[in-house]
Structure 1
Amino acid sequence: MTGPVKRLAVLPYRHVLTCPAVPASVSLARRTAEATYASWGIDPGHRVMGPALLMLSELVLNGVRHAARTSPQLTVVYAVRTGLLDFAVHDRHPYRPDPARFTESPGGLAVVAEFLTELGGSCTVLADGDGGGKNIWITLPT
């Protein structure tokens, strides 16, 4: 073997939801988040849960509004690591928004940026290997 072995980060708790890119998936993704995080012991009243659910809703809604034509399905990943709550929304639309410019966006992404700043969270946009889609990952400290 040549070179170092790159290890993937292990997410001790992880759940994946695949749903159609339709408006009803916004509430489905939110309800799934509430149930999933509660099953992992995160209190629904935890200070990050309200903002996390709103950010998740905005990201899924953006996928429905802007990516449905090229991405008939969205995938939502929910995860928890020590001290961190994560979620991601994946679609197959090639446009990748720049998280540093979310505040300049009208509507939902500006709300996401505001909560990230307020909570000390981060956002990463990862392109699919073929450039035909992306994952928007949100990480929030708990």
Structure 2
Amino acid sequence: MPREADVLPLRHVLTLPAVPAAVRTARETTEQVLTEWGIGLRHPTAGPALLILSELVTNGVRHAAVLSPQLTVVYAASRDCLSFAVHDRHPYQPQLYGALADTGAGGLATVMELTLGLGGTAVVRAHADGKGKGIWITLPL
């Protein structure tokens, strides 16, 4: 099965240190990428996408930094689809759809509510070496 970034023509990759300032940098980069791709910050998907990405990077900084000194954000898009992922080197793979029922899931529950509310999908994919994962979000445009 092809990965989102393999089939979507627009791509951008950002690698950041797993520190709190990474959240702001990832958000600012997302704004720039969306604008460059003609999606624009007033698009109905832009605001939720920025919040989802911020939550995923925050989770990477809070929970994965001990084993993952860097995070990688991959952006991909087409005319009708925006996809992005946050990759880290921590092996733990959260249960995304279980976050909706878990009152302690915090940011991950927000990610899932926004993603599903926009008609999008979310998936956790383990890295081939078993030492990390990427959380992919795909949203219709």
The bucket for the TM-score relative to the shorter chain is over 0.9
CA distance in 2, matches of 1:7, 1:77: 15
TM-score by length of 2: 0.93
Q: Over the residues paired in the alignment, what is the CA RMSD in angstroms?
A: 1.3
Map of 1:3 onto structure 2: none
1:117-132 maps to which residues of 2 (within 5 A)?
Answer: 117-132=116-131
Match of 1:74 among 67, 71, 74: 71
Runs (5+) with no aligned partner, structure 1: 1-5
Runs (5+) with no aligned partner, structure 2: none
1:29 counterpart = 2:11 = no
Alpha-carbon spacing, 1:125–1:17, altered in 2? closer, same or farther (3 Å): same
Q: Which runs of 4+ in 1 moved over 4 A?
A: none
Give the deviation of 1:107 after TM superposition: 1.1
Identity of aligned residues (%): 58
- Contact 1:102–1:112 under 8 Å retained in 2: no
1:32-51 maps to which residues of 2 (within 5 A)?
Answer: 32-51=29-48
Give the deviation of 1:63 after TM superposition: 0.3
Give the deviation of 1:131 after TM superposition: 1.0
CA distance in 2, matches of 1:15, 1:102: 28
Q: For 1:56-80, what per-residue CA distance to the aligned partner results, in whole angstroms no more than 9, with x for missing partners?
A: 0000000000000100000001111
Give the deviation of 1:52 after TM superposition: 0.4
Give the deviation of 1:106 after TM superposition: 2.3
Give the deviation of 1:10 after TM superposition: 2.3
CA distance in 2, matches of 1:58, 1:78: 15
Give the deviation of 1:114 after TM superposition: 0.9
